[in-house]
Structure 1
Amino acid sequence: MESRHLFTFLVVVETGSFTRAAQKLDYAQSSITAQIQTLETEIGQPLFDRISKKIILTDAGRRLLPFAQEISRMHSLAQEALRSESELTGSLRIGAPESLAAFRLPGIIKEFRVKYPKVQILLKPGACWELTDLVRSGELDLAFLLQPETEDKDLNIETLVHEQMTLIAPPDHPLMSLSEVEPVHLKGVTILHTETGCSYRTLFEHHLNRHGVFPDPTLEFWSIEAIKQCVMAGLGIAFIPMITVNNELAEGKLARLNWNDESQRVATQIAYHHKKWKSPVLTEFLKSVQQHAENWSS
């Protein structure tokens, strides 16, 4: 079974016509017909039902389709692997929660784009559980996660750095007068929440709940920037990663409450499918990530 016959089969399926497939591949239509007939002879079953002017996949055609698609994908990956490093091309589908997309990824992506300008990078924001599912299904090549250190039977997950969390408030907030803020001090205090399902929000809420504190969930934001602006405006306090507020703390726009975050620590991790072949693009990107992570302080 020749791979070119399988590629022709895929184009016929894609275009829905022997004529359009011939036009797309710049073949004579008789050549398309001959290649499909050769495949059908090898398989021993017809691949298409020809009804009027329409062609419809038979059961054998439907069963062959995913194998032909995988062979085509591997062919593309092999071509990519054999190109010189300076000619690295392709695409990379990355997922990351907003805090990492804004405060960990820009330097990595900028450096990678300078080195490999022909690589297309697609960045999808999302919650960690959603991104993990997308890596597991193959819709993402790589995900950055901000969560408690986690293992997964389907994924390679590597910890890059343990992130410090902080409870922020306006500099003139009454809780700033306390030498140490305990969960009980947060009863009745307005807390600005990240979205439901956010890993560090869940840790924070569980910690408060264990001490009999149940925050009002009515103020919920999908944007770290919106949370920071609302805290600066005096709407309440928030529990967010330290990396997202370093500048505002240095400028005195926000203040850190003396809060023990030890039981609510999270880590920045990367995840990719352990069965997925690491293409040259993914391999080089992972190298760049590791180099940057060496300079991140926990």
Structure 2
Amino acid sequence: MDIRLQSFLKVWELKSFTKAAQNLNLTQPAVSQHIKSLEKEYNSRFLNYKGKDLILTDSGKILLEYANKIKLSEIFFIENIKQSSSKIKSIKFGATLTIGEFTLESILFEMFRNFDNYNLEIYVENTKKNLEMLEKGEIHFSLVEGLFDKTKYYFKVLKNEKFILTVSKDHNLATKSNIRIEDILNETLIIREKGSGSREILERALVDKNFNLKNFSQKIEISNVNLIKSLVKSNLGISFMYKDAAKKEIDAGELIEVKVEDFTIEKEFNFIYMDDELYIKELIYFYEFLKQNMIT
């Protein structure tokens, strides 16, 4: 990768010429010269200061997208070279919490059996972390249940999933056939952490109905879905979650799905990847397997 592009990426990442130079083991004048050389070659300004803040120009945004693609291609190229003499390739992928902990559970055995010629590494993180890992080339693809910028990534829909309100079988709402949002505002709402796709989906759905999380009298924030379900089962609060996450408990009668009037939420589970020609064959194989085996 062109050292000038490396300097540009590092300056933008650290928002500082001095810190970029230190990180790259270069002098600050050298890093500044790299940026000037790029700007001279393309006859365009890429970085400006707005007060003390470093900002990208419109041309800088284009260069950033281009440089990131080159960087990602280089990461996968080096990885491919290292694996070229091995019969077994490594595939790393991420999954958001509902998919990673619940949706994949029933198909993991079949996945390992079908892809026994690959070393598989699976990372279960929230949506924000998954997308960060994808952009850095730390994973080859990601299975995401949350919202994301569809202009930044390649993606294929795996399935549509209902996002439901769950309560304990002992909760007074468990026997209600239909309720309104106003009927649950005095309840203790158990929600996921910031950065979670599930939380963002709930927040947006509430805003669409002119409500927000502040309208609830009490909130508990937890990053672990199993712990959330335990609290709900113990009747310590109510929670919105994907139906996949609550399926076992609903089937066992431990959790009850409560219909909320005019508040039906259904979202996509997506297979997300970057522009990666070196692994496109593997990406297609994995997508087709997941699409076929995920319960709709």
Distance 1:108 1:122 in 2: 15
Q: CA deviation at 1:157?
A: 0.8
Structure 1 position 125, deviation (Å)? 1.3
2:156 aligned partner: 158
1:125-164 equivalences in 2 (<5 Å): 125-148=124-147, 151-153=150-152, 155-164=153-162
- Which residue is equivalent to 1:186? 184
C-alpha deviations, 1:211-262, integer Å up to 9, x for none? Answer: 3452256411111111111111110110001111112112211111122575
For residues 4-30 of structure 1, what are the alpha-carbon distances to aligned partners after superposition, in whole Å with 9 as ceiling and x for unaligned? Answer: xxxxxxxxxxxxxxxxxxxxxxxxxxx
User: 1:78: how far off?
Assistant: 5.5
Map of 1:199-278 to 2, 5 A cutoff?
199-209=197-207, 210-212=209-211, 214-215=215-216, 218-260=219-261, 264-278=265-279
Aligned to 2:105, the other structure's residue is in SS state helix
Is 1:167 equivalent to 2:173 in the alignment?
Answer: no
**Shift in alpha-carbon separation, 1:134–1:260, aligned structure 2, 3 A:** farther
Does the CA contact (< 8 Å) of 1:192 and 1:221 recur in 2? yes
Distance in 2 (CA, whole Å) between partners of 1:261 and 1:162 is: 19
Q: TM-score when scaled to structure 1?
A: 0.66
Q: Look up the equivalent residue of 2:253 and give its one-letter code.
A: G
- Distance, in Å, in 1 between the alignment partners of 2:158 and 2:180 is 30
Shift of 1:143: 0.4
**Residues 147, 200 of structure 2: 8 Å contact kept:** no
Cα 1:109–1:173 change in 2 (3 A) is closer
**CA displacement, residues 159-217 of structure 1 (integer Å, 9 cap, x when unaligned):** 11110111011123222343322111122210111122222322323433543452256
Unaligned stretches of 5+ in structure 2?
A: 1-24, 35-70
Contact kept? 2:156, 2:270, Cα under 8 Å: yes
Aligned partners of 1:94 and 1:141 also within 8 Å: yes
C-alpha contact 1:149 1:267 (8 A) present in aligned 2: no
Q: Distance in 1 between matches of 2:75 and 2:159?
A: 38
Relative to structure 1, is the Cα distance of residues 184 and 273 closer, same or farther in structure 2, using a 3 angstrom cutoff?
same
Deviation (angstroms), 1:150: 5.3
CA contact (8 A) 2:191 2:221 kept: yes
Q: Which residue does the alignment assign to 1:75? A: 81
**Equivalent of 1:197 in 195, 198, 213:** 195
Residue 108 (structure 2) aligns with? 109
Report the CA distance shift for 1:189/1:90 in structure 2 as closer, same or farther (over 3 A).
same
Q: Check conservation: 2:193, 2:223, Cα contact below 8 A.
A: yes
Structure 2 contact 187–218 (Cα < 8 Å) conserved = no
Q: Which residue of 1 aligns with 2:89?
A: 90
What is the Cα deviation at residue 263 of structure 1?
5.4
Q: Would the aligned equivalents of 2:186 and 2:216 in 1 still touch at CA under 8 Å?
A: yes
Q: Distance in 1 between matches of 2:205 and 2:287?
A: 34
* AA at the equivalent of 1:92: I
Note the residue ranges of structure 1 that are not aligned, 5 or more in a row: 1-55, 81-86
In 1, Cα distance between equivalents of 2:232 and 2:280: 43
Whole-angstrom CA distance in 2 between matches of 1:225 and 1:137: 29
Q: Please tell me the root mean square deviation across aligned C-alpha atoms, in Å.
A: 3.1
Aligned equivalents of 1:261 and 1:102: distance in 2? 29
